[in-house]
Structure 1
Amino acid sequence: MTDVFATQETAAPGSTSDDDGTSPRRSRRPRGTRIPARVQIMGWLVLVMTAGLATVVLLVAEFEYRAIDERVNSGLAQDAQEFRRFADAGTDPATGQAVADPYDLFFRHLSSQYPDRAEIMLGIEETAGGGLDAVQQSDEALRDVTFDDPLLRRIVEAPRTTGTVETPAGELRWLRVDVLPREGGSEPNAWFVSGYVIDEARSDAADTVRTLVIISAIALVLAAGVSWVVAGQILAPVNTVRKAAARLTEADLTRRIRVEGRDDVAALADQFNAMLDRLERAFATRRQFLDDAGHELRTPITIVRGHLELMGDDPAERAEVVRLCTDELDRMARIVDDLLLLAKAEQPDFVRPEWTSVPELTSDIDAKVRAIAPRSWTLEAIGEGEAYVDAQRVTQAVVQLAQNAVQHTEDGASIRIGSSVDERSVSFWVTDTGPGLAPGDEERIFDRFVRGEAGARGGTGAGLGLAIVKAIAVAHHGDVRVLSAPGHGATFGFELPLRGGQA
């Protein structure tokens, strides 16, 4: 059977929509912002989540709309292909009857079609009067949409066989198949048009995107609330540190921060407490120095002032006053030096330990103390091995003990020094044959400005020598000791860890 109607080839359908681009805008944060850290944490978290959720929404929207566009284009191409097959056959497949004219062709073909959602199919024929008559088949929701003559002419007279046009239902993406006259001719007098109302086709995708936006907004609100609470809990120790620092005064350095957990903030609080410990020790050392200086220097200053006020014009008297004042000033200088040494003992670098030969150190100390005064010096024991100590400070401590023994003994008296080493410690001591300590003096003899009652008979010291010995021992993580019997001399010494502060 010959073809009754001929169709022209149509271009492949495609989307005519354009993507609009936007330029990124850079936001600059003001320098030196005073925004609280809690607000900054919440703001950054919300900002990052907003960017992430916005990216997800945009990707979902792009995917959904692209899938709909592909479905629309595929549907338009399929409708055109089915119409061509029907027109080329020239008969109704259901009845086998020949198709008489374009109107019959459109009516029979559209009667067998079931439009997709948002789809409209039109059969347009030019009437004898030059008008356009249309047969329409569409989705149930679009049955009331009508196409007037100007709208139909915009479609059939378009230079391309695909395009978009505004209709009462919205933007319509259409594809046209031109139908040539049965009698022959190059100009079509009928047209098959398949189209989709884009807004209606995209309604499900729009609902999905709208739902995502609502869920994202709720998630952002919840994230902001959670981040506000969590940031407050995390920064609570920091605020405690800040408030504690604001309350600190020289008069009250006893406040500490309760440390909980093992995170970075807990480490910060722990380090802050350690700093407060160092500050408290530093201020205590300063107060101790000032108290000690005021306590011990008051007497020589009073003596010097009294002698100067009562000094007469006699040259011999003046010379004696000058001698007494010079002696008191020398004593004041020694006191100041001792106090400065005790103050320095609180510093981390007061001792600089290194591995030292105990026999060599003991022999050097013995050689030095023999020059202090004419006594019967005896080196009774020498420890063997090495110890991790500051040799200069140890020498200073033993010499101080030797000077203390000299002050409490007569010329020719026996003084013994020695050292010993065991598995864990090294010890140094000085034993004299002086009057010894009175009962009860052992516990306080190493305190500042304390002089034993039995030894105060002729001593000229300020009571700082044994305190210096204790400071040196403590700086080595060691301790001092004393053994004494009234009238039978005393043994002063100190014991230091063999390896110092090493593990």
Structure 2
Amino acid sequence: MTTTEPAPTRSLPKLPTRRGTRIPARAQIMGWLLLVLVVVLLAVVLIVRSFLHNDVNDQIAESLEQEAHEFSTFAATGRDPNTGQLISAPDALFDSYLRRQYPDPDEALIGVWRTPTGLRTLAQEQNDQIERFAEDPAMVQRIVDQPSTWGEEDTPLGRMSWVKVRAESANSDPAWFIVQRYTDKAMGEADRTVQTLLLVSGIGVAIAALSSWVVAGLILAPVRAVRQTAAEITEHDLTRRIPVEGRDDIAALADQFNAMLDRLEDAFRIQRQFVDDAGHELRTPITIVRGNLELLGDDPAEREEVVRLCTDELDRMTRIVNDLLMLAKADRPDFVTPAPVPLAELTSDIEAKVRSLADRRWVLADIGEGDVVVDEQRVTQAMVQLAQNAVQHTEPGSEIRIGSSLVDGTVSLWVADRGPGVDPAEVEKIFDRFTHGSGKGKGGAGLGLAIVKAIADAHYGRVRVLSEPGRGATFRLELPAIPPHIPVEEPTP
């Protein structure tokens, strides 16, 4: 005994899911805004600090160079400004120059010359603390020994910048003029400016945090309204909508959400209407079939009659279901696919098809000329349904007229009969679903004219009836020759 392995089942691919964060959107907006703001402010503070320090260094360098240049100019003359005598000794040169100088509080001017016993110094400063360290022999020796004409030293009073120039004298003893500038005070002022900027930036960040929290709440209020509305919507109540204010992205989101709700409401309405219509119309044939089957006996003739009746009712149910499905599809955008078609050819084809419906005197009254943009199959279906309706309300051999026209951009197709006509009280509702006329014709499900109206509506047109009781009725399908807002399907060559 062989066994057959069950066919493997294909599972639908799972859509990738994005694991979201638990941080509220409001907090995320505020956090990102503050992060960007802090980064920008920090960059600004660092740039300002660098600018201030560079500015202090430039000012110090300019001051040192200016003092050095003034001494070089004085030393080049080599004469006492008061007496005009030539100055030969370095100590006399430095003394003559320094007696006329008033250094800044953080500045020291030092003359240095070499003697057989070592270095000698003569200084001028305004600060007692600087006076104790400016002429430090070890530091002066390091500066003199430096091949460079400028440099920096770390001292107990902080960072010190210096420049030196060679002081030429008549006896050619080595001598140097040194300008010292202690920079901590100037740098401290720059750092205090940076600290003030940091404090102001911190206050600004705090204000920005509060403002961004409030503004984010205002911006996200419509989003919360969308969420709240979505939570309150059920399949039994799709009437809730979100109020739209403004023309920003949030308003566009609310518009799209409302449009989605409109589509959902239409879909549920169509679904409920289909179920209600099917239940309403199928109840009778199902009851008939069930009743006949319950009373089914053993008599062959009776069984044959029951089978015939049940088959007729099943055929009727099939037609009803097909009609209901068509009406359910009528609200879909692809219900009709218009394409250019010659009106004369369309009218002739319709007339040829309806002749086989019944023994009637079919008359092709008028034929319109020109091309129209319609769904040929749907329009033919509507006209055949109108012709079938005329057959149901006329006697064999009765005249039924068919025609078409194209006037001022409107195409008209009509079916006119000489039956009992339509009661004026029924004209307004004759195109509703499950509406049966009061005439003596064979009744259907009451869906044929509803299908005609659905086809007319899908073409942005209309169907209307002109009737006088006892003198017949004319059903006229009026459609725009070129329907708006419908994609036109080009005919295949």
TM-score scaled by length of structure 2: 0.85
User: Which residue number corresponds to residue 481 of structure 2?
Assistant: 498
Tell me whether 50-59 or 67-76 shows the greater mean CA deviation. 50-59
Shift of 1:166: 2.6
User: Which residue number corresponds to residue 398 of structure 2?
Assistant: 413
Q: Are residue 447 (structure 1) and residue 432 (structure 2) matched?
A: yes
User: Which residue number corresponds to residue 20 of structure 1?
Assistant: none
Number of matched pairs: 466
> What amino acid sits opposite 2:462 in the alignment?
D
Q: Are residue 362 (structure 1) and residue 347 (structure 2) matched?
A: yes
Q: Are residue 70 (structure 1) and residue 52 (structure 2) matched?
A: no
> What amino acid sits opposite 1:47 in the alignment?
L
Shift of 1:73: 2.0
Contact conserved, 1:282 with 1:346, CA < 8 A, in 2?
no
Partner secondary structure for residue 130 of structure 2: coil
Distance 1:327 1:209, change over 3 A: same
Q: Are residue 286 (structure 1) and residue 274 (structure 2) matched?
A: no
Question: CA separation in 1, counterparts of 2:109 and 2:397?
Answer: 133
Shift of 1:281: 0.9
Q: Are residue 427 (structure 1) and residue 412 (structure 2) matched?
A: yes
User: Which residue number corresponds to residue 162 of structure 1?
Assistant: 150
Shift of 1:380: 1.7
User: Which residue number corresponds to residue 284 of structure 2?
Assistant: 299
Work out which of the residue numbers 28, 38, 41 in structure 2 matches 1:50.
38
Shift of 1:239: 3.1
Q: Are residue 481 (structure 1) and residue 464 (structure 2) matched?
A: yes
Contact conserved, 2:109 with 2:178, CA < 8 A, in 1?
yes
Gaps of 5+ in 1: 1-29
After superposition, what is the alpha-carbon deviation per residue over 1:302-357, rounded to whole angstroms, capped at 9, x for unaligned? 11111111111112111111111111111110100000000010110000112221
Partner secondary structure for residue 397 of structure 1: helix
Partner secondary structure for residue 425 of structure 2: coil
Question: CA separation in 2, counterparts of 1:340 and 1:272?
Answer: 28
Question: CA separation in 2, counterparts of 1:149 and 1:130?
Answer: 17
> What amino acid sits opposite 2:45 in the alignment?
V
Question: CA separation in 1, counterparts of 2:66 and 2:60?
Answer: 10
Contact conserved, 1:432 with 1:490, CA < 8 A, in 2?
yes
Question: CA separation in 2, counterparts of 1:129 and 1:62?
Answer: 46
Tell me whether 75-84 or 355-364 shows the greater mean CA deviation. 75-84
User: Which residue number corresponds to residue 222 of structure 2?
Assistant: 237
Contact conserved, 1:156 with 1:176, CA < 8 A, in 2?
no
Question: CA separation in 1, counterparts of 2:455 and 2:134?
Answer: 111
After superposition, what is the alpha-carbon deviation per residue over 1:202-234, rounded to whole angstroms, capped at 9, x for unaligned? 344334433433343344444444444444444
Partner secondary structure for residue 349 of structure 1: coil
Shift of 1:95: 4.6
Tell me whether 198-207 or 474-483 shows the greater mean CA deviation. 198-207
Question: CA separation in 2, counterparts of 1:425 and 1:180?
Answer: 113
User: Which residue number corresponds to residue 381 of structure 1?
Assistant: 366
Tell me whether 462-471 or 250-259 shows the greater mean CA deviation. 250-259
- Across the aligned residues of Structure 1 and Structure 2, the Cα RMSD in angstroms comes to 3.0
User: Which residue number corresponds to residue 217 of structure 1?
Assistant: 202
Contact conserved, 2:80 with 2:96, CA < 8 A, in 1?
yes
Question: CA separation in 1, counterparts of 2:469 and 2:30?
Answer: 74
TM-score scaled by length of structure 1: 0.83
After superposition, what is the alpha-carbon deviation per residue over 1:437-462, rounded to whole angstroms, capped at 9, x for unaligned? 23411111111111012x2x452411
Question: CA separation in 2, counterparts of 1:217 and 1:388?
Answer: 69
Tell me whether 337-346 or 162-171 shows the greater mean CA deviation. 162-171
Question: CA separation in 1, counterparts of 2:152 and 2:142?
Answer: 13
> What amino acid sits opposite 1:147 in the alignment?
R
Q: Are residue 313 (structure 1) and residue 301 (structure 2) matched?
A: no
Map 1:187-226 → 2, pairs under 5 A: 188=174, 192-226=177-211
After superposition, what is the alpha-carbon deviation per residue over 1:172-221, rounded to whole angstroms, capped at 9, x for unaligned? 11224466898666xx5x65431111222334433443343334334444
Question: CA separation in 2, counterparts of 1:117 and 1:398?
Answer: 110
Contact conserved, 1:473 with 1:480, CA < 8 A, in 2?
yes
Question: CA separation in 1, counterparts of 2:406 and 2:378?
Answer: 18
Question: CA separation in 1, counterparts of 2:364 and 2:105?
Answer: 113
Distance 1:431 1:184, change over 3 A: closer
Contact conserved, 2:88 with 2:171, CA < 8 A, in 1?
no
User: Which residue number corresponds to residue 25 of structure 1?
Assistant: none
Shift of 1:143: 4.0
> What amino acid sits opposite 2:469 in the alignment?
P
Shift of 1:150: 9.0
Distance 1:478 1:324, change over 3 A: same
Question: CA separation in 1, counterparts of 2:243 and 2:213?
Answer: 23
Distance 1:319 1:46, change over 3 A: same
Question: CA separation in 1, counterparts of 2:41 and 2:82?
Answer: 54
Partner secondary structure for residue 298 of structure 2: coil
> What amino acid sits opposite 2:183 in the alignment?
I
Q: Are residue 256 (structure 1) and residue 244 (structure 2) matched?
A: no
After superposition, what is the alpha-carbon deviation per residue over 1:264-315, rounded to whole angstroms, capped at 9, x for unaligned? 3322322222222111111100100000111111111111111111111112
Question: CA separation in 2, counterparts of 1:482 and 1:194?
Answer: 113
User: Which residue number corresponds to residue 11 of structure 1?
Assistant: none
User: Which residue number corresponds to residue 4 of structure 2?
Assistant: none
Distance 1:124 1:433, change over 3 A: same
User: Which residue number corresponds to residue 334 of structure 1?
Assistant: 319
Map 1:90-239 → 2, pairs under 5 A: 90-96=78-84, 104-116=92-104, 118-123=106-111, 135-138=123-126, 142-148=127-133, 151-158=136-143, 159-160=145-146, 161-177=149-165, 188=174, 192-239=177-224
Contact conserved, 1:433 with 1:490, CA < 8 A, in 2?
yes
After superposition, what is the alpha-carbon deviation per residue over 1:240-260, rounded to whole angstroms, capped at 9, x for unaligned? 333322322211111122222
> What amino acid sits opposite 1:471 in the alignment?
A
Q: Are residue 267 (structure 1) and residue 252 (structure 2) matched?
A: yes
Q: Percent of aligned positions with the same letter in both sequences? A: 57
Question: CA separation in 1, counterparts of 2:406 and 2:218?
Answer: 54
Contact conserved, 1:425 with 1:495, CA < 8 A, in 2?
yes
Contact conserved, 2:390 with 2:419, CA < 8 A, in 1?
yes
